[in-house]
């Protein structure tokens, strides 16, 4: 049985989305150049194929301007990050937010300023839930 379209972008699709979240719309040649500048040198046809796949998955919208296709994101960074993080929370941590936070503390260095910011955000979320 054939799989349906992926719910989350692949690594390359995510790189392309990051390019387009910075500036859009862009033509294929400019997207390819930015990928190359970022260390990912791909054939022009590979970029076109990936962009068309992303369009079919509804990650991108496209328009035809001056005899070239221009692409822009259809999804926001927040939408993608929420879906991907939500999937990790559900599948890896069985829905436990505290397990995710503890895991983050274990795998990354957090400086004093970040701890203060996290405390401030946590307190704000608690007040939102209470009020």
Q: Is residue 60 within a helix (H) or strand (E), and if so which, with residue range?
A: strand 60-65
Q: Answer yes or no: is pLDDT of 69 > 70.
A: yes
Q: Answer yes or no: is pLDDT of 1 > 50.
A: no
Among residues 61, 75, 77, 59, the alpha carbon closest in space to that of 26 is found at 61
Please give the model's pTM, rounded to 2 decimal places.
Answer: 0.82
Domain boundaries, the chain: 11-73, 77-130
At 82-128, the pLDDT tens digits run: 999 999 999 999 999 889 988 988 888 888 999 899 899 989 999 99
Q: Is residue 73 within a helix (H) or strand (E), and if so which, with residue range?
A: strand 68-73
- Assign 24 to helix, strand or coil: coil
Residue 13: predicted pLDDT: 98
- Confirm if 86 and 10 have CB atoms less than 8 A apart: no
Class of the domain covering 11-73: mainly alpha
Residue 104: predicted pLDDT: 84
């Amino acid at each position: 049985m054939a799989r349906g379209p992926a719910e989350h972008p692949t690594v390359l699709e995510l790189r392309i989305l990051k390019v387009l979240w910075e500036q859009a719309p862009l033509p294929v040649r400019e997207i390819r150049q930015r990928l190359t500048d970022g260390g990912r040198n791909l054939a022009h046809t590979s970029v076109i194929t990936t962009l068309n796949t992303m369009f079919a998955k509804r990650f991108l919208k496209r328009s035809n301007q001056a005899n070239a296709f221009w692409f822009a994101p259809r999804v926001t960074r927040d939408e993608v990050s929420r879906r991907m993080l939500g999937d990790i929370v559900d599948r890896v941590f069985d829905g436990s937010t505290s397990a995710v936070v503890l895991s983050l503390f274990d795998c990354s260095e957090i400086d004093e300023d970040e701890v203060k910011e996290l405390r401030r955000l946590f307190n704000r979320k608690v007040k939102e839930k209470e009020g």
